[in-house]
Structure formats: structure tokens, C-alpha cells
């Protein structure tokens, strides 16, 4: 159950992670500029980091279920 929960948490976090990345990208003024090295953080590193964090959270907070 832990792996399934981790995959679900990671999958559900895709949209919010990308949305946060886009908002941060626009706040930092990336829409008006050519590609620069600083754009790796809001465009790739932050969303992937949030998805990995959600997956790890789903894996670590698994609750054992007893079957009678």
C-alpha cells in the first residue's frame, strides 16, 4: 500500500507543483526575458522537488492496516 499511496501523492501534486513554478517564474520576470540559467529553478527544479517531496511524504506516512 505504501508504494501506491506514494504514486498517488506524487501524481496529484503534479498540477500544483507546475502552477507554483509558473507563478514563481512570472513573479521573477521570466516572461519578458530570453532563457537564462536562473530559470532552471522555477521551471524545473522547484516542480520536480515538490513532486518528489509529495511522493516521499506519501511513502513515509503510510498507515498499517490490519486485516482480520
Inter-axis angle of helices 46-60 and 14-27, to 10 degrees? 150
**pLDDT tens digits for 25-49?**
888 887 777 877 888 888 889 999 9
Residue showing cell 520576470? 29
- What is the rounded CA–CA span in Å between residue 61 and residue 55? 10
Q: Which residues contact 53 (CB under 8 A, 6 or more apart)?
A: none
Residue from 1, 14, 5 nearest 56 by CA: 5
pLDDT for residue 50: 92
- Judge whether 5 and 56 are in contact, CB under 8 Å: no
Q: What integer is the mean pLDDT of 10-36? A: 87
Amino acid at each position: 500500500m505504501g508504494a501506491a499511496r506514494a504514486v498517488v501523492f506524487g501524481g496529484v501534486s503534479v498540477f500544483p507543483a507546475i502552477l507554483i513554478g509558473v507563478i514563481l517564474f512570472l513573479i521573477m520576470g521570466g516572461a519578458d526575458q530570453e532563457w537564462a540559467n536562473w530559470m532552471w529553478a522555477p521551471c524545473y527544479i522547484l516542480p520536480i522537488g515538490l513532486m518528489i517531496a509529495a511522493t516521499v511524504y506519501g511513502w513515509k506516512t503510510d498507515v498499517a492496516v490490519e486485516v482480520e
